[in-house]
Chain A
Amino acid sequence: MSRKTTPSPGRLLVVDDNKVNRLLLGRGLEQQGHTVSFAENGLLALEMVRTQPFDIILLDIQMPEMDGYQVLELITSDLNLRDIPVIMTTAMEELDSVVKCIELGAEDYLTKPVNPVLLKARVNASLEKKRLRDQQRELVKKFATAEVAEDLQESGFSLGGKFIEATAMFSDIRGFTTIAESQTPAETIELLNTYYTLMFEAISGHSGVVNQMIGDGLMAIFGAPLPLENKEEQAVRAAQEMIEMINLFNTDLVSQGKLPIKIGIGIASGSVIAGYTGTIRRATYTCVGDTVNLAARLEAHTKVVGQPILIDEATRNELSSAIRVEDQGKVQLKGKVHEVNIFSVLVSS
């Protein structure tokens, strides 16, 4: 059985210089349960969309003061407004103008006199699109830095994947289960929240993006979705800062009579497959592939060698001389066919 959801009401703006047209469109939309506001010219419309939230704009082309083309251009070139679908309302013989509007970024069109059935269908379709864009915008806000979110909004959302050169980082807390058993659940959650706050700050401070958090572990990516110059160096500097942060945090913990925490960080660079995964309702920006797996294995291997930060050769090769590394030789990592050269990074550089 298919479940057809009835879209919930939206906030709509009707822009038309003719009062009869405003009245007719307004009535039709209010009958469908929407909240409708009106503007009688383009200037007024623009002022309204900049100060009030709208889900859809129904826009007439021929208006005094500022016509529909000008309004449309200003809306579609404004980062804060471009997600609002614009439906052009035009006379039947203006189809040439409609083509121009669609090229300028209009979502759809309706010819006047407006057919109530078509009005309902087009408005509901555009409302769905608006809601999806809002959800994506929220997701990107949660999972990406401000620059990345902006870039994604500029380039449009695409769920498709692509190969990107990036640096992947994994980090988690050593012996976390033991720590959790030694204190109350509230203390554990507080500890995790402090830990995440510190780690996020170190990572985003070096232009990285945290894209996964699982229990006491996290994954971050440098150089995706936006390209980042010296991503390897940025990732390693972020890791050093993370260790320094944890050391400071530990001073605090020990003074409260609590157990200090230890983290391990693995970093690898190379080609990753990046894109949005999940479903339309819940998607995250993800990176997968050999490079990502290697970073995860290196993180696990920090326990074996007793070093807080391990990196692969591709990362090491791009580092400046300011960062001191130690060759840990070749190791056979789980899931890898060949032995790989690994390096530890010294924290006080």
Chain B
Amino acid sequence: MPNTIIDSTTFEELKEAMGDDFIPELVSTYLDETAALIQKLREALAASQSEDFRRIAHSIKSSSASLGALEFSAQAKELEFIGKAGDFNQAGAALARLEEAWPKVKTALQEFIP
């Protein structure tokens, strides 16, 4: 079954360029970092810090795209725009969707660790 959560072409290219031995470290760093960033998004939302919210979403977008988590990256990009517009009415719901998608990204990435 093709993995729709992680783009396999992107991930395979990454493996090719960086070397197989590098992948476990990369994936575990991504999992830790992203979990921490999602937590920070929550905090930024609670404190109504739209600039922080935007920047953190941008960071998640960037690293997620690198690992091939394209859909998740697109969701983060949506949050980035919400932060940029300072539109906190939508931020809560959008963040909830991102949090919902996160466990699936985690599970999908585990598959790529030998």
Residues of A participating in the B interface, judged by any CB pair closer than 8 Å = 17-21, 23-24, 27-28, 31, 62-64, 91, 112-114, 116
Contact = CB atoms under 8 A, between A and B. Distances in A.
B65 interface: yes
Contacts of B29: 19-20, 23
Contacts of A18: 33, 59, 62-63
Contact of B58 (A20, A28, A91, A113): A91
Contact of B59 (A23, A24, A62): A62
A64 B55 contact: yes
A20 B63 contact: yes
Nearest to A93: B77
Q: Which of B18, B22, B55, B63 has the most CB of A within 10 A?
A: B63
A18 B76 CA distance: 14
B55 A21 contact: no
A62 B33 contact: no
Interface of B: 10, 14, 17-19, 22, 25-26, 29-30, 32-34, 52, 55, 58-59, 61-63, 65-67
Which 3 residue pairs are nearest across A and B when measured between Cβ atoms? A20-B63, A113-B66, A116-B17
A19 B26 contact: no
Q: Is the interface of B mostly helix, strand, loop or mixed?
A: helix
A31 B18 CA distance: 8
Contact of B30 (A17, A20, A28, A112): A20
Given A19-B33, A20-B30, A27 B22 contact: yes
A63 B30 CA distance: 18
Nearest to A90: B62
B93 to A, nearest CB: 23
A63 B58 CA distance: 10
7 contacts: A17-B55, A18-B62, A18-B63, A19-B33, A24-B26, A24-B66, A28-B18
Contact of B33 (A20, A28, A63, A113): A20
A20 B55 contact: no
Given A24-B18, A27-B18, A113-B66, A17 B61 contact: no
A64 B25 CA distance: 25
Given A18-B63, A27-B19, A64-B52, 5 more contacts: A19-B32, A20-B29, A62-B59, A113-B62, A114-B66
A42 to B, nearest CB: 12
Q: Which of A24, A62, A64, A91 has the most CB of B within 10 A?
A: A24
A31 B66 CA distance: 18
A27 B21 CA distance: 11
B100 to A, nearest CB: 21
Given A20-B26, A23-B26, A27-B18, A91 B61 contact: yes
Given A28-B18, A62-B55, A21 B26 contact: no
B17 A112 contact: no
Contact of A20 (B10, B17, B67): B67
